[in-house]
Structure 1
């Protein structure tokens, strides 16, 4: 069972795909139920994996490796040379991302009750997208990672372009073009590594690059390592995204259906951070160290740029879009700090923002369903007509600006603690972003909850229903749990962070 658990985890949404595919197109209620139930097997399996970790079971016992592809016949030199195996594995880092993926996918499936058309096609693409995301976080070689990475792009493109808002097609093509460029850069880097080393296994590549990087046929020079590291960073910076590669993400946040933005902001953007940590920092630690100042600089620029623009927006979806850019800047600041506090804070920020963004866009979906708008000038007085909704919005806003006791505080505290140790000047400049974050969050939340009561809202009295209350409560509970007891994440991450610090020189 242990050997095949990860395969079951990654491909278990296929059960939901089969159930949805067999249903007639007009059976809306049943299709939505099967679509939601299709997300439950990976959710249960991910929690089982988490429980196994905390019971003391080594995560390496769940690794799987099967013969897959062989290029040429070089067994006389090395039977493993130029072979690509089907390899899945999990460690503390990937375990946290898997949990984030399965939780948000299940809650986004509930939020998909607001989808008005073509439910069958929607849920088929939705579940394919989940398979791709789970594969990304369990792949143990670069080629398999790339296949799963590309597997997330196509269903996301159609989900945005078919079920989004007015400018959905433009947003979908922006998403595809920018991410396609990032994929092209990533593929070139993977092919060069494969051609030079004869392997795409991540552990083997990490050992080669840190032990001199000499392969059987082609030694890898220091300048080539530097270029490959830079290629990985650029590819994943587009995905994150980091200023100035951000414009596509603003369109997606504004035009995609809220249930898909829950996944996009909560999980898909996090693939960028995961890639930087796993490949940029993991495979090329020496070259990554030489780029640390540039990484922090772009992080500070993204943090301040996103915060300034969020402050000027009148559409709440745009506020959240620029807020995501700003918070991903914090991630880059932590990853460039090159110390345990900064790196751990960056990973905490990735998970924290995933939960907070998912809750905010879930509430955006509820709000749009009730009022038909997300324009701040047209909203106001929600605290009177929708008090429970307003309470969740206020709590989520406090988490976003870093209120102590919530996940946003502990992540930002650790990032700035680490950054003040390594880059105090840039850290001091970055503090301005914390002030701006408090201003734009409070401005938007207060305008909606206690602002001028527009006639549009006077007619609306329906608060969160039971199916809406559950996802909101789960996400808020997780946000508070991580803030109050950070070791929920810190425990699984400890081994991974220690390995990173050892590779980076123990700083």
Structure 2
């Protein structure tokens, strides 16, 4: 269907326009804001259902010449930049993940007490940027959408964040801004040398290692290093992680659900699509370095999470640890490990969104997320306790849930190529079980606090949102072919 992707990517604009017309005091603001996130979800489901599995290449392609540039460097060959959209098996999964988590996070926006209209407008702009990132088949367009996510996240965090929101927002902006500059350097270099920003064309051209004298092996290695810093900041890779912890602790819950569930995955997507697609030879040559970075992420995040006393900080370091598994899967440089890395990005997106949805419930009902100030709430809120325990078990990789199959595939691929690093990495999996169970048990069980009596359990909306995420987590864990069949289109599925 021609134009379907454009309709999907820009569908949040309809909500932005309607909200802009409404008065900030209108009782329709929250309803329209939530309904505006439902439209992209429905369209993403249509795209996912129409996507042809087992067919390699780009699907739903849209190409329109955007503008041309004549330069003195190449007066007879214009530089053409086109508006190009399309999806692969990888990006179609991220489109569904983005639209689903954004829709569920929109219900958490209802807790915002001031400036709800402005929040929803920026919230929808953020969704538009994320959908554009995963739909772009042109590096220039990818960069524009990437910047939309950066600006909207900065404004949402700086205006509606916690007590240290300004520090968190500017930390986010500086780190990710530098990453954007490095990414732009790579894009401009490729554009100047190859006269195109089409991702498929660039991938094909770079397979010829002799035709472009400037793009020598060493030059490609430097460009890969720049991409590693650009997307590694987003992932994040230790030591480029401090900004992410601040965002997880200070951002409003609706934003954290999206940040942990989707935005961090742009880093993994970029490394897989551009790092592995453009510079596979160079990436293979630094696989050991990538594995060591992944091991550091896995162990450092787990050890620091173990000593945290605040749930949001604990989950932030847990995310750092789980992103280490993504790096380890990529470093294996075989189809099983890379498939595990992709599974991990999708799985962690769902699990992190569920955990932070429940963290929002804790803040709303009990006013704190400090572990020492909670305890014994299972008797007052049994539904919350049940979902929180299930989310924790999914995070630690319980068999039958998506976390297990993701970690299993990533480590299986790693043991094939780097068994020593794989053996050391297992320690991180053990630590994950320890700190997750410790936190879950401390919050839900333990000494009952009389001040928490008569606290309301999950609402119908919160139960439904939690159930949707948990069903998907179990579905992937029990039937992983739902992902692997889609990934066959990029030569990764089994």
Task: Please give the TM-score of this superposition, normalised by the length of structure 1.
Answer: 0.95
Deviation at 1:497, TM superposition (A): 3.3
Partner of 1:484: 478
Partner of 2:391: 396
Deviation at 1:55, TM superposition (A): 8.1
CA contact (8 A) 2:56 2:490 kept: no
Partner of 2:45: 47
Partner of 1:504: none
Partner of 2:83: 86
Q: After the TM superposition, which of the residue ranges 43-52 and 55-64 deviates more from structure 2?
A: 55-64
CA contact (8 A) 1:378 1:454 kept: no
Distance in 1, Cα, partners of 2:211 & 2:196 = 12
Partner of 1:4: 3
CA contact (8 A) 1:310 1:440 kept: yes
Q: After the TM superposition, which of the residue ranges 124-133 and 225-234 deviates more from structure 2?
A: 225-234
Matched, 1:22 2:21: yes
Partner of 1:292: 287
Coordinate RMSD, CA, aligned: 1.8
Distance in 2, Cα, partners of 1:60 & 1:225 = 25
CA contact (8 A) 1:213 1:219 kept: no
Matched, 1:123 2:120: yes
Matches within 5 A, 1:305-384: 305-384=300-379
Q: Structure 2: which 5+ residue stretches go unaligned?
A: none
Q: 2:382 aligns with which of 377, 384, 387?
A: 387
CA contact (8 A) 2:329 2:340 kept: yes
Partner of 2:142: 145
Partner of 1:433: 428
CA contact (8 A) 1:6 1:89 kept: yes
Deviation at 1:58, TM superposition (A): 8.2
Distance in 2, Cα, partners of 1:334 & 1:461 = 43
Partner of 2:241: 246
Distance in 2, Cα, partners of 1:117 & 1:400 = 33
Provide, for residues 137-193 of structure 1, a one-character-per-residue CA deviation record: whole Å limited to 9, x for no partner. 011111111110001011101111111111111111111110001001111111111
CA contact (8 A) 1:210 1:285 kept: no
Partner of 1:37: 35
Partner of 2:194: 197
Matches within 5 A, 1:101-120: 101-120=98-117
Provide, for residues 56-77 of structure 1, a one-character-per-residue CA deviation record: whole Å limited to 9, x for no partner. 8888451000011211069998
Decide whether aligned partners of structure 1 residues 283 and 78 sit closer, same or farther in structure 2, where only a CA change above 3 A counts: farther
Deviation at 1:397, TM superposition (A): 0.2
Partner of 1:219: 214
Partner of 2:262: 267
Matches within 5 A, 1:400-439: 400-439=395-434
Decide whether aligned partners of structure 1 residues 78 and 324 sit closer, same or farther in structure 2, where only a CA change above 3 A counts: farther
Distance in 2, Cα, partners of 1:67 & 1:473 = 44
CA contact (8 A) 1:371 1:456 kept: no
Distance in 2, Cα, partners of 1:98 & 1:143 = 19
Decide whether aligned partners of structure 1 residues 23 and 200 sit closer, same or farther in structure 2, where only a CA change above 3 A counts: same
CA contact (8 A) 2:109 2:116 kept: no
Distance in 2, Cα, partners of 1:438 & 1:39 = 35
Distance in 1, Cα, partners of 2:409 & 2:267 = 20
Deviation at 1:234, TM superposition (A): 1.2
Deviation at 1:221, TM superposition (A): 1.2
Deviation at 1:113, TM superposition (A): 1.2
CA contact (8 A) 2:54 2:486 kept: no
Deviation at 1:456, TM superposition (A): 3.6
Distance in 1, Cα, partners of 2:59 & 2:378 = 51
Distance in 1, Cα, partners of 2:439 & 2:214 = 55
Secondary structure of the 2:63 match is strand
Deviation at 1:488, TM superposition (A): 1.1
Decide whether aligned partners of structure 1 residues 58 and 435 sit closer, same or farther in structure 2, where only a CA change above 3 A counts: closer
Secondary structure of the 1:89 match is strand
Aligned residues: 494
Provide, for residues 370-402 of structure 1, a one-character-per-residue CA deviation record: whole Å limited to 9, x for no partner. 011000000001110100000000000000000
Secondary structure of the 1:385 match is coil
Deviation at 1:410, TM superposition (A): 0.3
Provide, for residues 193-222 of structure 1, a one-character-per-residue CA deviation record: whole Å limited to 9, x for no partner. 11121111111111111112634xx63111
Decide whether aligned partners of structure 1 residues 431 and 84 sit closer, same or farther in structure 2, where only a CA change above 3 A counts: same
Task: Please give the TM-score of this superposition, normalised by the length of structure 2.
Answer: 0.97
Distance in 2, Cα, partners of 1:322 & 1:219 = 41
Distance in 1, Cα, partners of 2:74 & 2:232 = 40
Distance in 1, Cα, partners of 2:244 & 2:304 = 14
Distance in 2, Cα, partners of 1:410 & 1:299 = 18
Distance in 2, Cα, partners of 1:180 & 1:60 = 30
Secondary structure of the 2:25 match is coil
Partner of 1:466: 460
Partner of 1:167: 164
